[in-house]
Structures are given as C-alpha cells and as structure tokens.
Amino acid sequence: MARAFSIADTRSTLFDALLDAAKRFGANRAILEDQERNPLSYTDLIRASFALGRKIAGITAPGETVGVLMPSSSAGVVTVFGLHAFGRIPAMLNFSAGLRNLRAAVKLAGVKRVLTSHRFIEQGKLHDLIDALEERCEITYLEDLRASIGTADRLRALADSLLPRQARAKLKPDDPGVILFTSGSFGAPRGVVLSHANILANVAQAAAHIDLDTNWIWFNPLPIFHCFGLTGGALLPILNGLRTFQYPSPLHTKIIPTLVRDTKASVLLATDTFINQYARVADPGDLSSLQFIVCGAEKVRDETHHLIAERFGPIPVLEGYGATEASPIIAVNKPNDNRPGTVGGLLPGIETRIEKVPGIDRGGRLYVRGPNIMTGYLDAGGVLEPPEDGWHDTGDVVEMSEDKWITILGRVKRFAKIGGEMVSLTAAEDLATGLWPDARHAVIAIPDGKKGERLILVTSRQDAEVPKLVGHAKSLGASELTVPRRIVKATEIPVLGSGKTDYVAVQRMAEAEGLAA
C-alpha cells in the first residue's frame, strides 16, 4: 500500500536521502545499472560519488554551479550525487537544444565548467557543442578525472563512505539542488532552480500516489537533462529502493525493447512517440515483463493504447502530466485506476487554482502550488525570481473532476482566434490524429487578414488532404473552425530531446513554405 505523503519527507537533501535509502533498503542492494551491465549497490554509488566528487571539488569552488553534459547513465547519476556530496550545484545541459540555446543556458546559470565524457561526445558526434561551450567554459572529461583517482583517493572515498554524514558537505533542504532548463517547445528555454526539498517532495508525492514495489526494475531511456528523466527515471526509484536501468537515448528503437526483456524491466518511462515506435518493432515477448508504462511530455494517443493491448496484452499505459517547475510530476494515472484521455490524478500535497480564460468555454487556466514547486526562475542577471505567492502558472487549460483527475484541453498559447472564436490547436491536432493515427501531426496558427488567424497542419501523412479532414470533422460533429485549411507535408515532425513537439521548428517549416509571417 502506498504510504501517505508527509511534508517531513521533504526536509532533507538529496545526498542525505541517498544515505537514508541505503540504510532503509540495505547498503549492498543493487540499485543502479546501465548498458555497461555493471550493477552498483548503494555502497558502490555512495563511494563512487565521494571519489568522483572530491576530484570535482578540487577544480571547483563550494557552491559553484557546474554544467553536466551527460546522457542517462550510471556515470551521469554518480556525477549528480558527487556534486551534491561536496556542495556543488549541477546544471543539467540539454545536448539536443542546439548551439544557441546551450550557450544561453550556461550563461544564464553562470556555468564556468562543464563535465562530460569523451565517449559520449564521440558517439554522439557532439564536437560542435564542445567547440561552442569552450568559448566560455572549461571542459572536463570524466574519463580524465577517473584516471587520476589513485589508491589514496580510493582509500579516502572508503573512509568517507564509512562516515558519510561527517564527510559530505553541510547543505540545507532549501539550497539549490539542481538547475534545469524548460523544454523550449515554444521559444527560448528558461532556467529553473529546484531545491533539494522540491525534488524530494515530488519523489515522496509520487510514492504516496502509486504503491511502489521494491522488486520492480525501472527502465529509463529518457535524458536526465529533462526533469522527468532525472526525477522520475533516476531519483524516484533509487530513493525508494527500486533498481533503475539507465539507457542513453530513447531513439534506439530496435535496441530498447530487447533490453527491456533482458533486464526483466517492470516499469518503462517514455513518451507516446517512442512507445509507439518500440511497440511496432518489438517481438511479442520483449515487453512481457512490464507491469506498466508511464508516458509524459505529450498526449498518449488512443492508437498507442490499442497497439500495446493488441500486441502485448493488458499492460497499462499511464499518461502523466508535469512541468519542470513542479519537479516535475503534477498528476499521473495509476496502474489500478487508469483513465485514458486524462493525465491522471493530482498528486497529494499540491493545491490548484483554475481561472477562466476569456473566449474559452470549457475548463480554465491551471495554477499549482505545493512543496514541489520550484524555488524560481533565473533572470538574465542570474537573480532568482520566485513564483508569486508560491503559485506556478502552468499555461495549460484543463478540466478537473471532483476526485481531482485532470484532463488537458490545451495550452493557453495553443489557442487561436478565428472569426472571433477561440479554437484549440490541440483539438485540431486530435482531429488529424483521429483520421490518420499512424502519422504525426502538428498544428500552428498564423495571422490572417480576414479571420484574425488561420490554422496550418504540418503532417508526416503524405496523402493528407483538406477535404478528407473536413469530412472527418463533420462526421464527428466538430466545428469546421478546428479544421486546418492548409497542409504542409514533412518526412517527420521535429521533436525536442524531451519528446515534445518542437513548435519553433514547426513554425520554421511553415515559414519555409511561405505560409507564416
């Protein structure tokens, strides 16, 4: 049975929470693994964090923000805990964000040193990112740091791990635990500061919402620069006694289903796009060990639910909802209470406020407040801007049931005004998805001299035609205002590293066709 959420669960630091988990679940319990297939126990993880962290401490200052440019891996997790052990702040850098956004991120967070890996840079062919970062940062490679760890360093790490609370830095729950950057779906990413208490609150909220079994094996292919991958994919299982398997990229469609089978994974984290791809290439037994799948970042299509059920049996696909500013989980469905079409039940300890949006009849704009809500945004001068009265404006238009199950109707900025009526771009995308479920779609609005705005559908469906879409809308009784009247066909719809649609890139595609201002 899931334990009740207590605010006391949040009044610690991430490294101390790791020490508490080792004591609670057993120091020798295997807890972390990656594609190298070398499982680490709590003791291994703590000792490695001290060994690597002390080396990083030798080239950084107490309280310094240090960039982490790493994929989901054991090394990435050790790096985060190693920074915490010596009072440094990890800034998780999105290597898929592009050169401009990456430069902006290190400037915003005041990063002077970036930690990465030779192997990662080589395999990812990311040399141009390193060249760009070297203009303002020192680059330090983990392989070089590890090679410098000698016998004396290992003995010191052993001693530190025997008396860890005396050896680790004295941090406070409200100190910065991590700096993350928003996805940039609609523009430049923002720097988000989450405290240790924010992240631990979200870990405790999720554990109070879903009954976690310590026999489960968590499989996380999502990047740890994204809050879902970091909190949901790494910290949540580790701090609750579940082994987590970190995989460096969700894009390896043919490899991941086989690894899910080989690791006997119980829970898989992904997005709708990736789950759909895995399900299409997986052999029937590849996903049979899964208890459930958790999807975030984008809407889960009906087709995905049907595909999983048809090919692999009754494996629940749980849609969740979150924001980087909320550490990130706000709501999620449950294995024993899964309501497709919703993003699940509100996590305990979160307050909500829903305000009507002029011109939008259903639902309202969602504001959230709670112990998991960020310390604040970083402004251009590196000064923290806390949320007003603790409330975070999600920018989403939602409906909420009496038992606090949430349905997303769209983002406020994802509505267009056409002929005086507010039209949901999300609803327009849903129309295209309903007609062509095996393709990907994105709808944007552009100015129109007569009607105010008009809708453009960018789709991977090569035979998509407006008359077919109009007919489909009529058959559903949907307003014709929700039907895009221009279609741009693309090989694929651009997505961010988080799995969300990259609407900035979609807008550029429309501009290239001469359709957008």
- Check residue 53 and give its pLDDT: 95
- Check residue 424 and give its pLDDT: 73
- Cα–Cα distances (Å) from 137 to 88, 192, 193, 403, in that order, read 16, 20, 20, 49
Query: 163: Cβ–Cβ under 8 A, 6 or more apart, which residues?
Result: none
Boundaries of domain holding 428? 419-512
pTM value is 0.85
Q: What does the block give as tokens for 347?
A: 């996590």
Residue 97 has pLDDT above 90, yes or no: no
Torsion sign over Cα 221, 226, 231, 235: positive
Confidence bin at 11 (pLDDT 50/70/90): confident
Kindly state the greatest CA–CA separation across the chain: 75
Q: What does the block give as tokens for 284?
A: 């029937």
CATH number of residue 469's parent domain: 3.30.300.30
Counted domains in the chain: 1
**Three-state secondary structure string covering 443-504:** EEEEEECCCEEEEEEEECCCCCCHHHHHHHHHHHCCCHHHCCCEEEECCCCCECCCCCECHH
Residue 235 has pLDDT above 80, yes or no: yes
Residue 5 has pLDDT above 80, yes or no: no
- Check residue 415 and give its pLDDT: 67
Residue 83 has pLDDT above 90, yes or no: yes
- Check residue 51 and give its pLDDT: 95
Residue 429 forms part of a structural domain: yes
Residue 284 forms part of a structural domain: no
Q: At what angle do helices 14-25 and 74-85 cross, to 10 degrees?
A: 110
CA distance 206 to 331: 9
Q: How much is the mean pLDDT over the chain? A: 88
Half-sphere exposure of residue 154, counting CA atoms within 13 Å on the CB side? 7
Residue 503 forms part of a structural domain: yes
- Check residue 2 and give its pLDDT: 60
- 91, β-bridge pairs: 67, 179
Residue 320 forms part of a structural domain: no
Using the structure block, give the residue that is written with the tokens 């048809």: 310
Residue 431 forms part of a structural domain: yes
Confidence bin at 427 (pLDDT 50/70/90): confident
Residue 401 forms part of a structural domain: no
Query: 482: Cβ–Cβ under 8 A, 6 or more apart, which residues?
Result: 423, 424, 427, 428, 431, 455, 473
Give the tens place of pLDDT for each residue, 253-273.
999 999 999 999 999 999 888
- Of the two residues 439 and 449, the one the predictor is more confident about is 439
Residue 462 forms part of a structural domain: yes
Residue 446 forms part of a structural domain: yes
**Cis preceding linkage at 328, omega within 30:** yes
- Check residue 329 and give its pLDDT: 96
Residue 71 has pLDDT above 80, yes or no: yes
Q: Please report the beta strands in 460-512, taking only residues with DSSP state E, as ranges in sequence order.
A: 486-489
Q: What does the block give as tokens for 335?
A: 């294995």
Question: Are β-strands 351-355 and 364-369 bridged in parallel, bridged antiparallel, or unpaired?
Answer: antiparallel
- Check residue 73 and give its pLDDT: 95
Confidence bin at 420 (pLDDT 50/70/90): low
- Check residue 287 and give its pLDDT: 92
Give the tens place of pLDDT for each residue, 178-187.
999 886 555 5
Residue 482 has pLDDT above 80, yes or no: no
CA distance 242 to 30: 9
- Of the two residues 42 and 505, the one the predictor is more confident about is 42
